[in-house]
A and B are shown apart, each in its own frame.
Chain A
Amino acid sequence: EIVLTQSPGTLSLSPGERATLSCRASQSVSSDYLAWYQQKPGQAPRLLIYGASRRATGIPDRFTGSGSGTDFTLTISRLEPEDFAVYYCQQYVTSWTFGQGTKVEIK
Chain B
Amino acid sequence: QLQLQESGPGLVKPSETLSLTCTVSGDSISSASYHWAWIRQPPGKGLEWIGAIYYSGTTFYNPSLKSRVTLSVDMSKNQVSLRLRSVTAADTAVYFCARQVAHFYYYLDVWGKGTTVTVSS
Chain A interfacial positions (CB closer than 8 Å to B): 1, 32-33, 35, 37, 43-47, 50-51, 54, 56, 88, 90-92, 95-101
Flag if B96 contacts A44 (CB, 8 Å).
yes
A-B contact pairs, 17 of them (CB 8 A): A32-B104, A32-B105, A35-B108, A43-B113, A44-B112, A44-B114, A45-B111, A50-B101, A50-B106, A51-B107, A90-B49, A90-B108, A92-B102, A95-B49, A95-B60, A95-B62, A101-B47
Report chain B residues within 8 Å CB of A46.
111
Residues on B lying within 8 angstroms of A by beta carbon are: 37, 46-49, 52, 60, 62-64, 96, 98, 101-102, 104-109, 111-114
Q: Say whether A44 contacts B113, CB under 8 Å.
A: yes
CA of A73 to CA of B6, assembled, Å: 32
How distant is B96 from chain A, measured CB to nearest CB, in Å? 6
The distance in angstroms between the C-alpha atoms of A51 and B107, with both chains bound, is: 8
Chain A residue nearest in CB terms to B37: A96
Q: Which of A37, A43, A95 has the most B CB atoms < 10 Å from its CB?
A: A95
**A32 CA to B102 CA, complexed, in Å:** 10
Enumerate chain A residues within 8 angstroms of B101, measured Cβ to Cβ. 50
Given contacts A95-B62, A95-B63, A96-B62, whether A47 and B108 have CB atoms under 8 Å apart is yes
Q: Closest approach, in angstroms, between the C-beta of B64 and any C-beta of chain A?
A: 8
**15 further contact pairs, Cβ within 8 A, besides A32-B105, A51-B105:** A33-B106, A44-B111, A44-B114, A47-B107, A47-B108, A47-B109, A50-B105, A54-B105, A56-B107, A88-B46, A90-B47, A90-B49, A96-B62, A98-B46, A98-B47
Cβ of B117 to closest chain A Cβ, rounded Å:
15
Most buried by A among B98, B101, B106: B106
A-B interface, 4 closest residue pairs, ranked by CB to CB distance from nearest = A44-B111, A96-B49, A92-B106, A35-B107
A90–B104 Cα distance when bound, in Å, is 15
